[in-house]
Amino acid sequence: MSEAPHSTYEVKDGIGLITLNRPDKLNAWTAEMEQGVKRAIGQAVKDDAVRAIIITGAGRGFCAGADMNLLQKITPEGERRNIVNKDEEEAVDVSSDFGPSVLEHFEGRFGYLFECPKPVIAAINGPCAGLGMVFTLFCDMRFASTDAKFTTAFSQRGLVAEHGIAWLLPRLVGSAHALDLLLSARKVPGEEAERMGLVNKTFSADAFMDNVMDYARHLAGNVSPRSMAVMKRQVYKSLFQDFNVSTDMADKEMQKSFSSDDFKEGVAHFVEKRAANFKGR
C-alpha cells in the first residue's frame, strides 16, 4: 500500500483501490487529496496488473465536499478559488493506444478520469456532497451504500453549478432531476439516487464493499482490458458526434480489434470452454 497525506492506494485481485483518507473530516477534499488521487490513477494506468479502479472513502463517509477551511479563505476577487491552482496541478499520464482520445472535450480538473483507459468505479460508502459529488460524476460507474446520502450543496453555500456538473448531471438523470438536485441542494438517499439514475446500483451497508469488489473482480478477470479501453472512449467521444460519425468510428475500431491478441483469446476461450486469459493487447 502507498500513502499520500490524504489518500491511500493499494492493488488487490487486479483492482487498484484508492481510498480518500480523512475520516475525521468525512474525507473533505484538499489539495493533497486531489494530488494523491491523480498520482494513484497514473500508477494504475501504467500497471498491467490493474484492470479496474475503485475509489472509496475511509470511515463512514465518501467525501463531504471541499474543505470548509479552504472555502473560508476565498476572497471576493476569487483568489484561492481552486483547491489546486492550475500551475500546481499534478501531471498524470493516462495515455493509451486504444480508442480515440477524449481529453480535448474534457479540459476541467477531473477530465483525466474520462481519458483513463481503465474503468473507474466510485464506491460511495456514505455522505457525498458538493465537490465530492461532482467528482463521482467523472467516474464511469457509481455504486452506493444504503448509508449514502447525496447533496449538490452549492445553492446552500451561495455558489453555482461548478466543475462541469451542469453538463454532466442532466445527461445522467435528465434536466428535471438535475435542476431539483442543484436548486434544492436536498439530501438524497442511496435508493432514490438509484431510481433517478444517479448511481448504477445500491447495496446494503453491511455487504457494500464486498459487492463492489465482486463487480470489479468480474471486470478484472473475465473481459478484455483492450475492449474496455476502446469502448469507454467510444462512449465519451460519441457524446460529441452524430450517429454516422460514431458508427464510422466503431467500424474502424472493430477492424483494429480483429487483429488483437484479445480477440483471438476471446474466441479461443469460448470455443475451448475455459477461463479467459486476456493480456490487454
Instruction: Sheet with 149-151: list strands edge to edge.
Output: 128-129, 149-151, 188-189
Can you tell me the mean pLDDT for 203-212?
97
Across 82-86, 231-235, 277-281, the highest mean pLDDT is recorded for 231-235
Bridge partners (DSSP) listed for residue 106: none
Can you tell me the mean pLDDT for 197-202?
98
pLDDT of 1 reads: 77
DSSP 204-241: -GGGHHHHHHHHHHHHHHHS-HHHHHHHHHHHHHHTTS
Task: Reply yes or no on whether the pLDDT at 147 is more than 90.
Answer: yes
Q: For a pLDDT cut of 70, what percent of the chain falls above it? A: 93
More reliable by pLDDT, 93 or 151 = 151
Q: If pLDDT is split at 50, 70 and 90, which confidence band does 80 have?
A: very low
pLDDT of 72 reads: 52
Per-residue pLDDT of 3-45, as tens digits, reads: 778 999 999 999 999 999 999 999 999 999 999 999 999 999 9
Can you tell me the mean pLDDT for 74-100?
67
Mean pLDDT across the chain:
92
Can you tell me the mean pLDDT for 165-189?
97
Can you tell me the mean pLDDT for 219-246?
97
Can you tell me the mean pLDDT for 215-220?
97
Task: Reply yes or no on whether the pLDDT at 143 is more than 80.
Answer: yes
> In the numeric block, which cell numbers belong to residue 80?
484561492
Per-residue pLDDT of 126-139, as tens digits, reads: 999 999 999 999 99
Task: Reply yes or no on whether the pLDDT at 75 is more than 70.
Answer: no
3-state secondary structure 147-210: CCEEECCHHHHCCCCCCCHHHHHHHHHCHHHHHHHHHHCCCEEHHHHHHHCCCCEEECHHHHHH
Task: Reply yes or no on whether the pLDDT at 203 is more than 60.
Answer: yes
State pTM to two decimals.
0.92
